Amino acid sequence: MHKSFFIKTYGCQMNNYDSEKINDLLVLNGFEKTDDIENTDIAILNTCHIRERASEKLYSDLGRLSIYKKNREKLGKKLSIVVMGCVAQAEGEEIINRNNSVDYVVGPQNIQVIPTLLKKKDFGKVHIDFLSEEKFKSLTFSQSNKISRLITVQEGCDKFCSFCVVPYTRGAEFSRPLEDIYAEINDAVEKGCAEVTLLGQNVSSYESSIYEGKEKKVELGNLCNTIAKIPNLKRIRYLTSHPNDINNNLIDEHANNKKMMPFLHLPIQSGSDKILKVMNRKHTKREYIELTKKIKLAVPQMAFSSDFIVGYPGETEEDFENTVSLVNEVKFASSYSFAYSPRPGTPASIQIDFNSEEVKKKRLNYLQKILNIHQNNFNKELLDKEVEVLITDFGKKEDQYVGRTPHLQPVHVFSSKNLIGRILNIKIERLTSFSFHGKILN
Ligand code: SAH
Ligand code: SF4
Ligand code: F3S
DSSP 300-329: TT-EEEEEEEES-TT--HHHHHHHHHHHHH
Q: What is the pLDDT of residue 292?
A: 98
Q: What is the pLDDT of residues 321-379, one digit of tens each?
A: 999 999 999 999 999 999 999 999 999 999 888 999 999 999 999 999 999 999 999 99
pLDDT in tens, 284-300: 999 999 999 999 999 99
Q: Which residue has the higher pLDDT, 216 or 422?
A: 422
- HEC states along 40-107? CCEEEEEECCCCHHHHHHHHHHHHHHHHHHHHHHHCCCCCEEEEEEHHHHHHCCHHHHHCCCCCEEEC
Ligand 3 pocket residue status of 49, Cβ below 6 Å: yes
In a domain, residue 202? The reply is yes
Indicate whether residue 161 lines ligand 2 (CB < 6 A). Answer: yes
Q: Which helix (H) or strand (E) holds 386?
A: strand 386-394
| DSSP designation for 396 | S
335 Cβ closer than 6 Å to some ligand 2 atom: no
Q: Which long-range contacts (C-beta less than 8 Å, at least 24 apart) are formed by 212-221? A: 218/178, 219/247, 219/249, 219/250, 220/249, 220/250, 221/247, 221/249, 221/250, 221/251, 221/252, 221/253
User: How many whole angstroms from 50 Cα to the centroid of ligand 3?
Assistant: 6
Closest CA to 402 of 229, 147, 200, 161: 147
Q: Model pTM?
A: 0.96
CATH number of the structural domain spanning residue 413: 2.40.50.140
Mean pLDDT throughout 76-82? Answer: 97
Whose alpha carbon is nearest atom 19 of ligand 1? 164
Q: How far apart are CA 400 and CA 408, in angstroms?
A: 18
Give the end of a domain, one of 381, 403, 426.
Answer: 381
pLDDT band with cut points at 50, 70 and 90 for residue 54: confident
Mean pLDDT, the chain, integer: 96
DSSP symbol at 356 = P
How many domains would you assign to the chain?
4
By residue range, what is the domain housing residue 116?
4-131
Q: Is the CB–ligand 3 distance for residue 50 below 6 Å? A: yes
Which pLDDT does position 120 carry in this prediction?
Answer: 85
We report the CATH number of the domain holding residue 300 as: 3.30.750.200
User: Is ligand 2 within 6 A of the CB of residue 159?
Assistant: yes
Looking at residue 89, its pLDDT comes to 97
Do 92 and 155 share a domain, yes or no? no
**98 lies in some domain:** yes
* Dist. CA 442 → ligand 1 center (Å): 41
**209 band by pLDDT with thresholds 50, 70 and 90:** confident
Q: Establish whether the linkage from the previous residue to 240 is cis, with ω within 30° of 0.
A: yes
For residue 421, the number of C-alpha atoms closer than 13 Å in the C-beta half-sphere is 13
Q: Please indicate, yes or no, if residue 297 is contained in any of the structural domains.
A: yes
Region 19-46: mean pLDDT is 96
**b or e along 214-239 (b: 16 or more beta carbons within 10 Å of the residue's beta carbon)?**
eeeebbbbbbbbbbbebeebbbbbbb
Q: Ligand 2 within 6 A of 438 CB? A: no
The answer on 405 and 315 residing in a single domain is no
Distance (Å) of CA 287 to CA 43, 276, 323, 338: 46, 12, 14, 23
Task: Report, as an integer, the average pLDDT of 392-403.
Answer: 96
Judge whether 153 and 198 are in contact, CB under 8 Å.
yes
Measured at the alpha carbon of residue 305, what is the angle toward residues 270 and 242, in degrees to the nearest 5?
Answer: 65
Of the residues 159, 281, 306, 340, which should be mutated to test ligand 2's pocket, given the most ligand atoms within 8 Å of the CB? 159
Q: What is the DSSP letter of 15?
A: H
